[in-house]
Amino acid sequence: MRAAPAGRREWIKAALLILIFAALISNMALWEALLRFLFPGEKDVLYPQADLTQLVGEHLALVLISSALAIIVGLGIGIFVTRPAGKDFLRIANDLSSLGQTFPPVAVLALAVPLLGFGFKPTVTALFIYSVLPILRNTIAGLETVPQDSIEAAYGMGMSKSQVLARVELPLALQVILAGIRVSVVVNIGTATIGVVVGAGGLGSPIISGLVRGNPAFVLEGALAAALLALLADFLIGKVEHSLSWSR
Amino acid sequence: MIELLSVSKKYGDAFAVKDISMVIGKGELCVLIGPSGCGKSTTLKMINRMIEPSSGDILIDSESAATFRPELLRRRIGYVIQSVGLFPHMTVEENIAVVPRLLKWERSRVAARIAELLELVKLDPLKYREKYPAELSGGEAQRVGVARALAADPPILLMDEPFGAIDPLSRERLQYEFVKIQKELGKTVVFVTHDIDEAIRIADKIAILRAGELVQYDTPENILAAPANKFVHDFVGIDRALKRLSRFKVGKLMRPTTSIAIANRLTSLDELRKKGRFSWVTDENMRLQGWVELTKIATEKELKEALTELDADVVSAHVDTSLKNALSKMLEHGVKTLAVVDENTRLTGEIRMEDIVDFTDGGDST
């Protein structure tokens, strides 16, 4: 795989964007000025219980843990069901991953609470279950689109099963798999805002608080920060996707 | 050397390959041919154990293929498939380097080998090394496919319709170049095709399969001369006599001949007349100029007038011209004899239609 000539500049750009995001999030004075300008009638325009840095930190913890688990499990199951040993489960996995998308995340959360109680764990579980599905679906799709003759040639040249997987199948499926991960993580950042209803904190806190108190400034504070975080994640994973792809 | 000993492959109750026994000698190019579903690809794939035989054994240099781990066996056997199967995410050099890397060759050795192989298959290393398969034409891709199969210098190559998807012109050139490489390197090749012309062009031996059974296994010349049964007879085509002629060279039937040098005195004219009515005419360096009817000349002056000039590049044959092409030239120019010349158009002999006809008759009766 060749690195694009402009590769280094791209990574500097990515690092710069992370810094800008961090600077925006930690500058509460700026947020106050913006929200006061938009909502001059409100007494308080900033969510009082926690500042954005803390909320983003909580939010990231939810997203990173659930997404990491989802990537490991989604890839693992996707690889397993496309092997000869697991092909009996391919249809179930396919059906589940399509069906799961029709299931609202709040419902997953509602089901997780009676089992796991309130707080961080049920939220991570619900988010994990929800994010694993697009990754699983794209892993299967990606592996199934690998040209059959490439696989035959690989075996014919004397690669073992694991070498065929690592050197031929996964590299060829990577773009599709990464696209699945990107969608999953971005959706996960949005979905994680509902974690607050079971006490997991995060950027959902100002949103729910704002809804309850009728304060649109709080709602916007949380929503805007979550949107920025989602855009940043989308951009960064897109960069990884681009740098690892072989087709130009 | 590859030996197939009563090899069969069954799917359920149906035989894909039934009790095939054959020996493919070292350095031979053996073509497996037959209609679709005759078991030719299955037979090929049992040699490198992409398909496991149901019964029988395959010996490679007297060792049973079944005793090797399939991966290790396959690294010693080059494999080329019709769709080429180049890895689209790897450059040309990375594709060629696959087996050397599996065998853990040193980096410098791999790099040197890549350059050597690209030269061998007539692709400029500087231009092609870094290209991706998507940037190659069908013919170029298959050249890389052949280079990749040869990468670790395996003694055996298995090729499954390698030139099937290539346009006829490039295909013929590839066939020609491939046979040259094969002979130079002394590789044992098993080659699957459904194209009888391809088989006749390249094969040392042809194995004709039908419904999983080996019908005839012999040299192309013998198969064309004496098809084992009606199936083979029909399979090789009604022009098998011509096809057979394509396997032989003019040198085989060439006769010595006489000629008159255009500047010479006609002292031996009477001698020449005894041998025939016509004579080739050459210049003082034996370069072919044309022919004369001997009865029409008596003097040196008449020789020049009676000369029928010939363009030696067009109306003549070389010793390595195929008999089929020589015959075709005779028909094209309406003559029964062609002069045989060397690369400098110097007369070396002649080839006669009657000899070709006799040769064909003789071949058919054996």
**Chain B neighbors of A147, CB-CB under 8 A:** 83, 85, 88
Q: Is the Cβ pair A153, B99 closer than 8 Å?
A: no
Token pair for A223:
């929503």
Q: Which amino acid is at B133?
A: P
Q: Tell me if chain B has a CB within 8 Å of the CB of A154.
A: yes
**Chain A neighbors of B98, CB-CB under 8 A:** 154, 157, 159, 167
User: B80 forms bridges with which residues in the sheet?
Assistant: B159
Q: Tell me if chain B has a CB within 8 Å of the CB of A95.
A: no
A244 to chain B: closest CA residue:
B89
- Please answer whether residues B28 and B224 qualify as being in contact, where contact means their C-beta atoms are separated by less than 8 angstroms: no
Smallest CA–CA distance, residue B98 to chain A, in Å, is 8
Q: Is the Cβ pair A158, B50 closer than 8 Å?
A: no
User: B205 forms bridges with which residues in the sheet?
Assistant: B30
**Chain A neighbors of B83, CB-CB under 8 A:** 147, 149
The C-alpha angle with vertex B219 and arms to B215 and B224, in degrees rounded to 5, equals 75
Best of B98, B99, B135 to disrupt the A interface (most A CBs within 10 Å) is: B98
- Please answer whether residues A35 and A45 qualify as being in contact, where contact means their C-beta atoms are separated by less than 8 angstroms: yes
Q: Tell me if chain B has a CB within 8 Å of the CB of A156.
A: yes
B77 to chain A: closest CA residue:
A157
- Please answer whether residues B255 and B273 qualify as being in contact, where contact means their C-beta atoms are separated by less than 8 angstroms: no
**Chain A neighbors of B72, CB-CB under 8 A:** 158
Q: Tell me if chain B has a CB within 8 Å of the CB of A157.
A: yes
Mean pLDDT of the region A155-173 = 94
- Please answer whether residues A162 and A208 qualify as being in contact, where contact means their C-beta atoms are separated by less than 8 angstroms: no
User: B322 forms bridges with which residues in the sheet?
Assistant: B249
Q: Which amino acid is at A239?
A: K
Q: What pTM was computed for the model?
A: 0.78
Q: Is the Cβ pair B85, A149 closer than 8 Å?
A: yes
Rounded to whole angstroms, what are the CA distances from A134 to A26, A93, A122, A184? 32, 11, 20, 6
Q: Which amino acid is at B182?
A: Q
**Chain A neighbors of B102, CB-CB under 8 A:** 157-159, 163
**What number of CA atoms fall less than 13 Å from residue B172's CA on the CB side?**
3
Strand pairing class (B63-64; B77-81): unpaired
Q: Tell me if chain B has a CB within 8 Å of the CB of A243.
A: no
CA A243 to CA A225: how far, in whole Å? 27
Say what the pLDDT of residue B78 is: 93
Q: Cα-flanking dihedrals φ and ψ of residue B109, to 5°?
A: -65, -40
Tens digits of per-residue pLDDT, A191-237?
898 888 888 888 999 999 999 988 899 999 999 999 999 999 999 99
CA B93 to CA B116: how far, in whole Å? 11
Side by side, the strands of the sheet bearing B347-352 are: B316-317, B337-341, B347-352
**Chain B neighbors of A160, CB-CB under 8 A:** 71
Rounded to whole angstroms, what are the CA distances from A230 to A33, A59, A128, B58, B115? 23, 11, 17, 60, 48
A170 to chain B: closest CA residue:
B89
Identity of the residue in A1, A157, A247 whose CB atom sits nearest the CB atom of B99: A157
- Please answer whether residues A203 and A192 qualify as being in contact, where contact means their C-beta atoms are separated by less than 8 angstroms: yes
Tens digits of per-residue pLDDT, A134-163?
999 999 999 999 999 999 999 999 999 999
A 133-152 → B contacts, CB under 8 A? 147, 149-150, 152
Q: Which of B130, B137, B145, B164 is closest to B40 using CA atoms?
A: B164
B80 to chain A: closest CA residue:
A153
- Please answer whether residues A234 and A48 qualify as being in contact, where contact means their C-beta atoms are separated by less than 8 angstroms: no
Reduced to 3 states (helix: H, G, I; strand: E, B; else coil), residue B213 is strand
From the CB of residue A72, how many other CB atoms can be counted at a distance below 10 Å? 13
Q: Tell me if chain A has a CB within 8 Å of the CB of B71.
A: yes
Q: Is the Cβ pair B102, A158 closer than 8 Å?
A: yes
Q: Cα-flanking dihedrals φ and ψ of residue B349, to 5°?
A: 170, -165
Q: Which amino acid is at B309?
A: E
A 161-180 → B contacts, CB under 8 A? 163, 167-168, 171-172
User: B157 forms bridges with which residues in the sheet?
Assistant: B78, B189
CA A219 to CA A211: how far, in whole Å? 7
CA B173 to CA B39: how far, in whole Å? 28
**Chain B neighbors of A172, CB-CB under 8 A:** 87-89
Q: Tell me if chain A has a CB within 8 Å of the CB of B290.
A: no
Side by side, the strands of the sheet bearing B63-64 are: B14-24, B2-11, B55-60, B63-64
Tens digits of per-residue pLDDT, B201-211?
999 999 999 99
Q: Which residue in the block uniquely carries the two structure tokens 């500047």?
A: B263
Helix axes A170-191 and A216-244, enclosed angle (nearest 10): 170
Helix locations, chain B, DSSP H: 40-47, 70-75, 92-96, 98-102, 107-120, 125-128, 138-150, 168-185, 196-202, 220-225, 230-236, 240-245, 269-275, 300-306, 323-333, 353-365
CA B241 to CA B218: how far, in whole Å? 16
**Chain B neighbors of A149, CB-CB under 8 A:** 81, 83-85
* Sequential pLDDT tens for chain B (366 residues): 999 999 999 999 899 999 999 999 999 999 999 999 899 999 999 999 999 999 999 999 999 999 999 999 999 999 998 877 899 999 999 999 999 999 999 999 999 999 999 999 999 999 999 999 999 998 899 999 999 999 999 999 999 999 888 888 888 888 999 999 999 999 999 999 999 989 999 999 999 999 999 999 999 999 998 899 999 999 888 888 888 888 898 988 998 888 887 776 656 666 677 777 788 888 888 888 888 887 777 766 677 777 888 887 778 888 888 898 899 889 988 888 899 988 888 888 999 998 988 888 764 444
The C-alpha angle with vertex A18 and arms to A10 and A122, in degrees rounded to 5, equals 120
Q: Which of B76, B75, B109, B111 is closest to B92 using CA atoms?
A: B111
B74 to chain A: closest CA residue:
A158
Smallest CA–CA distance, residue B60 to chain A, in Å, is 16
- Please answer whether residues B33 and B18 qualify as being in contact, where contact means their C-beta atoms are separated by less than 8 angstroms: no
**Chain A neighbors of B88, CB-CB under 8 A:** 147, 150, 172, 246-247
User: B287 forms bridges with which residues in the sheet?
Assistant: B346
CA A127 to CA A129: how far, in whole Å? 6
- Please answer whether residues B149 and B120 qualify as being in contact, where contact means their C-beta atoms are separated by less than 8 angstroms: no
B 6-45 → A contacts, CB under 8 A? none
Tens digits of per-residue pLDDT, B309-362?
888 777 888 888 889 889 988 998 888 889 998 888 888 899 999 898 888 876
